[in-house]
Amino acid sequence: MALRSDVPVGSGIFSDMFSPRESETVLSELGSKFPLALVRATDAARGDLRSLRRWRSDWLQGMFQREVAGIVHARIWAHLMAELDSVDGVTFRTEEPYREVRVVTPLGRTFKVRVKRHSEGDRISSYTTPSDVEFWGGAVLSFDGLEEVPLAAGYRWEAATGDVGAPVISYREGKENVIWAVEVDAGQADAAAPLRYTPIAPPGLPKIDLAASRRDAESGTR
């Protein structure tokens, strides 16, 4: 399947070396199977949540959002396992309280992925343990091609509607330190359509309103 990305190309510190800080580099090597499976799993989990709301809306009305997120997490995990069953290089690990997908690329690089709800500012939550801090500490860099890169993959949580939003993949160096994040779009999750990645501006960066700047310039205001 063709892979197309809207993420800008970056050169990293050295243009010929792998850098987990470059989203296009990571997504290109990750390939299309996992992101496409994430899109399909997220779509299916969204449908599962809506079905549960129709069946037992009273259950969900009394739940905290984190409890609803737990249901969504379990459904995404189940759908991911079904989508990626027997795919070469993909393994699943479940060790309470963590679930982890490992994707080993043909170059030998390992992407360690945990399913996460992405809230405003791409915040994620997890039990803070020594292994959790180590996991979100960033890529473990060794010989080129043998790196282990942790990724958060999941969905945008629409707090206003209590619904599952777009699939998201992010890389961070520290749980709250987001280096990059992208929303994943596969059209109708059709394997024949190219994947599209929409970069999400890191939290805290100023948003520039070009139209307002033009109006100010024309009126002579600052």
Query: For 131-140, what is each residue's pLDDT tens digit?
Result: 778 888 888 7
DSSP structural state of residue 207: P
Taking every pair of Cα atoms in the chain, the longest distance, rounded to a whole number of angstroms, is 64
The sign of the dihedral angle between the CA atoms of 82, 112, 97, 128 is: negative
Interatomic CA distance for residues 48 and 97, integer angstroms: 22
Indicate the pTM of the whole model: 0.79
* Residue showing tokens 């033009």: 214
Opening angle at CA 203, ends 102 and 40, nearest 5: 40
pLDDT of residue 136: 85
Residues in contact with 127: Cβ distance below 8 Å, sequence separation at least 6, in sequence order: 97
**pLDDT by 10s per residue, the chain, length 222:** 333 334 433 333 334 578 999 999 999 999 999 999 999 999 999 999 999 999 999 998 889 988 999 999 999 999 999 999 999 999 999 988 889 999 999 988 999 999 999 987 788 887 777 877 888 888 876 666 678 999 999 999 988 888 999 999 999 998 888 999 999 987 755 555 678 899 986 554 433 333 333 334 444 434
CB burial class (10 A; 0-12, 13-18, 19+) of residue 42? buried
Interatomic CA distance for residues 49 and 220, integer angstroms: 52
Residue 118, H or E segment: strand 110-118
Q: Where are the alpha helices (DSSP H) in the chain?
A: 23-30, 33-55, 57-61, 65-84, 130-135, 210-219
pLDDT of residue 190: 58
